[in-house]
Amino acid sequence: MAQTDHNDIVPAIAEIAREAGSLLMEYFRRRVLIEYKGEADLVTEADRKSEILIRERIRALWPGHDILGEEQGFVDTGSEYRWYVDPLDGTTNFAHGFPVFCVSMALERKGQMVAGVIYDPTRDELFAAEKGSGAYLNQQRIHVSKTDNLAECLVATGFPSHKRHKNPNIFFYHQITLRTHGVRRAGSAALDLCCVACGRFDGFWEFNLNPWDTAAGVLIVEEAGGKVTDMGGGPFQLNSRETLASNGLMHASLVDEFRKIFSGHGLEPLPEIAK
C-alpha cells in the first residue's frame, strides 16, 4: 500500500498494534529483565523490540511516512504524514508485573490527527478512531459517560517518571480526590484516555505528557463525544504539556477546580489522621 488509503487505515494500524501487543505479552509472561534509563524510568527490551516491529511494519506499508517513537526519536523528512508511536505505555507497570499497559499509535496528516489505535493486550481490548467516524472498542461504538455532577465523577491522573519533585500534581490529586468519587492512578495515560472515551472514567488530567502518550487517546476521546483541552480550557496542543480530558459535561467544573487550585486554594496544612 504505497498510497495512504484512508478507508483501510484503521484495520491496518490495528493489525500492527495487535502484533506488537502479542510481542509485549510474550515478554510479560516471562517477566522481562529490567534496565534502568534514569531515576524511576524503567526501560525494557520489550519497549525497544515493540518499537522496532512497529517501525518495520509502518515502513513496509507506508514508506514515505515520518515516525516519532518514544524509544528511537524522530527524523523529519518533511512528509505530510507523521506517526506518533508509544510502543509500550505503562512501562513501570509492565516491569513490575502489574497488567495495565498498551500499545499506542496515531497518524497525523498535515498537522491534523486522522486515526488512532490503542491496544491493551492484557484484556484484548482494541480502541480505535478515525477522524469524523466515531470511536470503537473491539468494533463496538463507544461514547463518553453522561455524569454531570462533579461529586459523582470517577476521574484519573498520572505522575511523570521524570522530575517528579517539580510536578504540582499531588496538590491536584489531593483536592480532586476530596471533590469526586475518587481519582485513579493506574499508570498508562493512553489507557486512561480510552477509559474516558468509553465512559469508565468521567475525566482525566496529567501534566508533562509527551505527544506519543496522548496523540491516539485524544482523538479517541473526541470521537467518542468527549472534550480535551489544556488545564485552562484552551485548545489542546500535542506539545502543550497539559492534558485535561472529560465527557464534555464535566469540563467547565474541572477547569474551575483547576483554576482554584492554581490560585492556591486548598493548600491547607496536613490534617491529623482521622480516628
Q: Under the rule (CB under 5 A), what is the footprint of Ca ion? A: 70, 86, 88-89, 213
**Cα–Cα distance between 18 and 12 in angstroms, integer?**
10
The nearest distance, CB 101 to ligand IPD, in angstroms, is 7
Neighbouring-strand partners of residue 228:
245
**Cα–Cα distance between 232 and 223 in angstroms, integer?**
21
**Cα–Cα distance between 117 and 106 in angstroms, integer?**
6
| Residue nearer to ligand IPD on the CB measure, 40 or 252 | 40
Q: Which does 240 bind (CB under 5 to 8 A by kind): Ca ion, ligand IPD, none?
A: none
Give the helix ranges, DSSP H, for the chain. Answer: 9-29, 45-61, 91-96, 169-179, 189-197, 211-223, 251-262
The nearest distance, CB 189 to Ca ion, in angstroms, is 6
Q: Which does 54 bind (CB under 5 to 8 A by kind): Ca ion, ligand IPD, none?
A: none
Q: Which residues bind ligand IPD (CB under 6 A)?
A: 86, 89-92, 158-161, 187-189, 206, 209, 213
- CA 12, chain centre distance (Å): 20
Rounded (5°) CA angle 234-205-257 = 70
| Residue nearer to ligand IPD on the CB measure, 69 or 225 | 69
| Residue nearer to ligand IPD on the CB measure, 134 or 230 | 230
The nearest distance, CB 161 to Ca ion, in angstroms, is 9
Residue pair 143/225 in contact (Cβ under 8 Å)? The answer is: yes
Q: Which does 161 bind (CB under 5 to 8 A by kind): Ca ion, ligand IPD, none?
A: ligand IPD
The nearest distance, CB 151 to ligand IPD, in angstroms, is 25
The nearest distance, CB 91 to ligand IPD, in angstroms, is 4
Q: Which does 160 bind (CB under 5 to 8 A by kind): Ca ion, ligand IPD, none?
A: ligand IPD
Residue pair 115/107 in contact (Cβ under 8 Å)? The answer is: yes
Residue nearest to ligand IPD (CB): 158
**Cα–Cα distance between 108 and 237 in angstroms, integer?**
13
The three three-digit cell numbers of residue 127, written as one number: 480502541
| Residue nearer to Ca ion on the CB measure, 14 or 103 | 103
The nearest distance, CB 161 to ligand IPD, in angstroms, is 6
| Residue nearer to Ca ion on the CB measure, 158 or 248 | 158
| Residue nearer to ligand IPD on the CB measure, 9 or 105 | 105
Torsion angle of C-alpha atoms 66, 68, 69, 71, degrees rounded to 10 = 110
Kindly give the interhelix angle for 9-29 and 45-61, rounded to the nearest 10 degrees.
Answer: 160
Q: Which does 158 bind (CB under 5 to 8 A by kind): Ca ion, ligand IPD, none?
A: ligand IPD
